[in-house]
Structure 1
Amino acid sequence: MNIGAVDHIEFYVGDAQQTAFYLCTAFGFRVRGQAGPETGHGDRRSLLLSQGGTDIVLTSALSPDHPAARYVALHGDGVANIAFEVTDTVRALAEAVGRGATVVEEAETFRRDGTEVVTASVLGFGDVAHRLVQRSGDRSDFLPGVMDIFADDPEENAQLLHTVDHAAVCLPAGELCPTVAFYEKVFGFSQIFEEFIEVGEQAMDSKVVQSPSGKVTFTLIEPVADRQPGQIDAFLARHGGAGVQHLALLTDDIVTTVPALEARGVKFLETPDTYYDELTARMGRPELRIEDLRRTSVLVDQDHWGQVFQIFTQSMHVRKTFFWEVIDRHGARTFGSGNIKALYEAVAREKALA
């Protein structure tokens, strides 16, 4: 199966317009299109948001029968579909089903003015699906005949964030290895990293799987059942099962991007000064100035290929489940030995202060 990059992320939300206002105001996304009663789809309201190479679809149910209504009732706002670019949707669907995937949406073709988009969806983890998307023609026409695309915004807009780097997924205890095996078998992903994390009396297992293209990466996390419940258990309880805990968006200048996002209203988790006091002894001198990292609360780690810099937002979700990450890679291909633990501890600090 020839999977390229992430085509788009679809969120099911209670109020698409309100969520779009936040993402545009705080993160710099722009509304680029819409679907709904005006386009002949009276059961939903969908808004297409874009920034750099990231497309996000926000969908709210206008009918109790739409899947978004059931999703939001169970989980609250959250990621419902992580779409993959493919070269042949029909063939990819047949391969996925033949390898054990469950169909969510049968193949469907959308055409307008020489543009053609073919989509289908299969179930991934929990009730999160993967839409298989084949595009030809004008790629700016996101879903021909379904979504109206707005004229380009003439206002200058700095591109702070570029693409989806990875998605972090929380799984119930015992589902980590079967989920890794599922992505290896169905989609041809490979496991590229694993780590066992202990924080006090809490612990979790993590494995990272990645597509052959290297452009789709999932960090899969499960709690350790015989340890004290922690923030992964809290996510699973509040979310109502497996789901996306956070999405990481890639930037090429994190110490500039973070203050710019803060000025727009984004709230990030704070990192204690002791982290930076001990940084040089732990890993040597980072490629970015420690003073800049301290000022912005950015974390740093490294692997065999280079360093990775990252920071996590506070959760704006009413259930305190989903949040965002901003990440800047300086050659690093994975997450280093300390970043997952740093995430766990950062979320634990926020929970302790709540």
Structure 2
Amino acid sequence: MATDTTSLKLEKIFTDAEDFLPLNGTDHVELFVGNAKQAAHFYKTAFGFQGVAYAGLETGMKDRTSYVLQQGKIRLVLTSPMSADGPINEHINKHGDGVKNVALWVDDAVKSFETTTGRGAEVAFEPKTIEDENGKVVISGIKTYGETVHVFVDRSEYDGPFMPGYRAWDSHYKPEDTGLKYIDHMVGNVGWGEMNKWVEFYAKVMGFAQLISFDDKDISTEYTALMSKVMTNGNGRIKFPINEPAEGKKKSQIEEYIDFYNGAGVQHIAVATDDIIKTVSAMKDRGVEFLYVPDNYYEDLLERVGDIDEDIAILREHGILVDRDEEGYLLQLFTKPVADRPTLFFEIIQRKGAQSFGKGNFKALFEAIEREQDNRGTL
């Protein structure tokens, strides 16, 4: 299930982005996990991903095992170490299951590397070409916040299932998808006072523009607060909100994340659907747990957001939130953390014109997160 590798000339919709680094979209997201085989079963069963490719001892990979799963344009790579030491084990010991590589689909991985490192990015790994009977892939990498790496991937001359070193994985077990289409955005949590540093990184090093800024007046509850700025490339296919803690009476979700992740990292992956009710319903039936939203959120919903197509009773049943901006409205809901540490989670989002990030829902969402923190004794 190879990506369409046609070189794209994508419309620039955010004119403030310098866009000297052409990006076609997200190629894949690689998570380092304690047990890739079991994690793959979870994402297939609960989220509706399908098996695409595999690398391990049988393919000549000695230090790790990786499973590649896909749904729509979303591709996850789940990787576990095969030895008691080494960098993958060190990452898991320190952070738990989490995102290591955010891979970006480019037309030229060498030029992308030279452009970004020439503008101050720290090298993760030099450009390299990997080949097999299906062609070649060129990859390179730069370091970002925490131990997260952006990998540039040029697969224009490759026609295999994923990358050289992987073989097709066509398992007997193929659960139906849940309607997930693509990655809408990915959120990074950074430490106190670090948000602007990384905002500047994405602007200077990668040519992104600042789309939206939220301060502690926008994102606060009675107990906690945080600040956030959303960075986007020109075509809008890559959006990276960056969060940092803000002063509050109690420990914010960002502080909790950094405590348990032991540093900065990817907080959540927002995945888009064309029918959030169908998607959330299917995922709940398969065991995915979502944040609880109190019934009183829906009492004045239409007064706050205006007319919507969906039945409010069904939205209430599933705890789906709604927000409107000048371009339309969106529907969204967060899962609970997908591993035992209260770190990585997913957002399910359906956009009906809106380009924003649910500012009107922040209070309800973060109060829901605080209830979970209180249950964990970490608020």
Structure-2 separation of matches of 1:113 and 1:41: 17
- 8 Å CA contact retained: 2:109, 2:153: yes
Aligned to 1:293: 315
Secondary structure, in 3 states, of the residue corresponding to 1:301? strand
TM superposition shift of 1:152: 8.1
Aligned to 2:361: 339
Structure-1 separation of matches of 2:174 and 2:363: 41
The AA in structure 2 aligned to 1:143 is M
1:155–1:125: structure 2 CA closer, same or farther, 3 Å change rule?
Answer: closer
Aligned residues: 353
1:52–1:152: structure 2 CA closer, same or farther, 3 Å change rule?
Answer: farther
The AA in structure 2 aligned to 1:300 is V
1:124–1:139: structure 2 CA closer, same or farther, 3 Å change rule?
Answer: farther
Q: How does 1:199-218 map to 2 (within 5 A)?
A: 199-218=221-240
The AA in structure 2 aligned to 1:188 is G
Aligned to 1:304: 326
In structure 2, runs of 5+ residues without a counterpart are 1-20
Secondary structure, in 3 states, of the residue corresponding to 1:302? strand
| CA RMSD across the alignment | 1.8
Aligned to 2:255: 233
Residue number among 187, 190, 196 corresponding to 2:209 in the alignment: 190
Q: Does 2:336 correspond to 1:319?
A: no
TM superposition shift of 1:304: 1.4
- 8 Å CA contact retained: 2:137, 2:154: yes
Aligned to 2:59: 39
1:5–1:97: structure 2 CA closer, same or farther, 3 Å change rule?
Answer: same
Structure-1 separation of matches of 2:198 and 2:362: 19
TM superposition shift of 1:39: 1.4
Aligned to 2:197: 178
Aligned to 1:243: 265
TM superposition shift of 1:340: 3.5
TM superposition shift of 1:21: 1.1
TM (normalized to structure 1)?
A: 0.95
The AA in structure 1 aligned to 2:29 is I
Q: Does 2:42 correspond to 1:14?
A: no
TM superposition shift of 1:341: 3.5
The AA in structure 1 aligned to 2:236 is G
Structure-1 separation of matches of 2:341 and 2:361: 24
Structure-2 separation of matches of 1:44 and 1:156: 26
Moved more, 320-329 or 172-181: 320-329
TM superposition shift of 1:282: 2.0
TM superposition shift of 1:226: 6.5
The AA in structure 2 aligned to 1:110 is I
Residue number among 261, 266, 269 corresponding to 2:291 in the alignment: 269
Moved more, 334-343 or 97-106: 334-343
Q: Does 2:109 correspond to 1:109?
A: no
- 8 Å CA contact retained: 1:163, 1:250: yes
Q: Does 2:24 correspond to 1:4?
A: yes
Aligned to 1:119: 139
The AA in structure 2 aligned to 1:215 is R
Structure-1 separation of matches of 2:145 and 2:221: 26
1:156–1:349: structure 2 CA closer, same or farther, 3 Å change rule?
Answer: closer
TM superposition shift of 1:291: 1.5
Structure-2 separation of matches of 1:27 and 1:139: 26
Residue number among 89, 98, 103 corresponding to 2:118 in the alignment: 98
Q: Does 2:107 correspond to 1:87?
A: yes
Secondary structure, in 3 states, of the residue corresponding to 2:220? strand
1:183–1:148: structure 2 CA closer, same or farther, 3 Å change rule?
Answer: same
Residue number among 123, 130, 134 corresponding to 2:154 in the alignment: 134
Q: Does 2:280 correspond to 1:258?
A: yes
Secondary structure, in 3 states, of the residue corresponding to 1:83? strand
Structure-1 separation of matches of 2:252 and 2:177: 38
Secondary structure, in 3 states, of the residue corresponding to 2:181? coil
Aligned to 1:224: 246
- 8 Å CA contact retained: 2:31, 2:99: yes
Q: Which protein has greater RCO, CA pairs closer than 8 Å, 6+ apart?
A: 2
1:159–1:26: structure 2 CA closer, same or farther, 3 Å change rule?
Answer: closer
Aligned to 2:12: none
Aligned to 1:68: 88
Structure-2 separation of matches of 1:113 and 1:37: 19
Moved more, 27-36 or 218-227: 218-227
TM superposition shift of 1:138: 4.6
Q: How does 1:41-60 map to 2 (within 5 A)?
A: 41-60=61-80
Identical-residue share of aligned pairs (%): 39
Structure-1 separation of matches of 2:170 and 2:55: 15
Aligned to 1:148: 167
Secondary structure, in 3 states, of the residue corresponding to 2:24? strand
TM superposition shift of 1:156: 7.5
TM (normalized to structure 2)?
A: 0.89
